[in-house]
Amino acid sequence: MRLNKFLSSCGIASRRKCDEIILSGAVTVNGKVAKELGITVNEKKDKVFYEGKQLFLPSSFVYIKLNKPKGYTCSAKDEKGRKTIYDLVKTEERLFSIGRLDYETEGLIILTNDGDFANKVAHPKYSIEKEYHVTIEGPIKESELAVLRKGVVVDGQRMPSARVEFLSSDEKYTKLSVVIDEGMNRQVRRMFEAIGKSIRLLKRVRIGKVKLGGVKRGDFRDLTDEELNSLVRAE
């Protein structure tokens, strides 16, 4: 088994992130630092350590959906001492999130210790949709919606197009639905910053067919078989 897959299957992180961890020199195999990609390990015989702890493949997989509140990071540890989503999820398993939400964004996060599952859900090849509800200050023009739908240009780079639909408005705020199928860093926030709109609230409400509904802010539960299968079957 490739080392990055072994690490991911042990619940360390996605395979892409595990490649970074390997290159950083934080992993040893049979007492030797592994700093090259493509290394293979015998999961039954080789001794793999990360951060001083020996890793073992899990005997079972966990799939959790969490309603992340604002004011939590998605890192296992935060250098600023801020609260993390792992303070909310009480489990003995070593889990990692599939994709992240920034400190000020709330909503749906999926956590697992199944690296193959995480790789599929996160991989751009499968174009799994993510839906956000965005509350902005003030009104928005049809011409601005058209720019968001086509893909705004940020630092000379055109961002991916998005499906943007009007939901509601009042004297102060406008609420929109934004659906994307790529995961550029802070993509939704950067879209609205590019057209000069200030986001009051940003919440992810759906990943694929898995919806946030039914989980209170700060709570979590296991994915149902139907929810899990909808992501496994996604093409």
Mean pLDDT, range 123-148, rounded to an integer: 91
Q: Is the pLDDT of residue 173 over 80?
A: yes
**pLDDT score of 214:** 87
pLDDT at 235 over 70: no
Task: Indicate the pTM of the whole model.
Answer: 0.81
Nearest of 124, 123, 64 to residue 94 by alpha carbon: 64
Query: Average pLDDT for residues 119-133, to the nearest whole number?
Result: 85
In this prediction, residues 123-151 reach a mean pLDDT of: 91
Known catalytic residue: 102? yes
The one catalytic residue in 46, 102, 116, 181 is: 102
Domains observed in the chain: 3-54 (3.10.290.10), 63-125+210-232 (3.30.70.580), 129-207 (3.30.70.1560)
pLDDT band at 234 (very low <50, low <70, confident <90, very high): low
**Model confidence at 44, in pLDDT bands (50, 70, 90)?**
confident
pLDDT band at 205 (very low <50, low <70, confident <90, very high): very high
* pLDDT over 90 (residue 187): no
pLDDT averaged over the chain?
A: 90
- pLDDT value, residue 163: 95
pLDDT of residue 182: 73
What is the arithmetic mean of pLDDT over 24-51? 92
Ranking 83-87, 119-123, 130-134 by mean pLDDT, the lowest is 119-123
The pLDDT assigned to 183 comes to 65
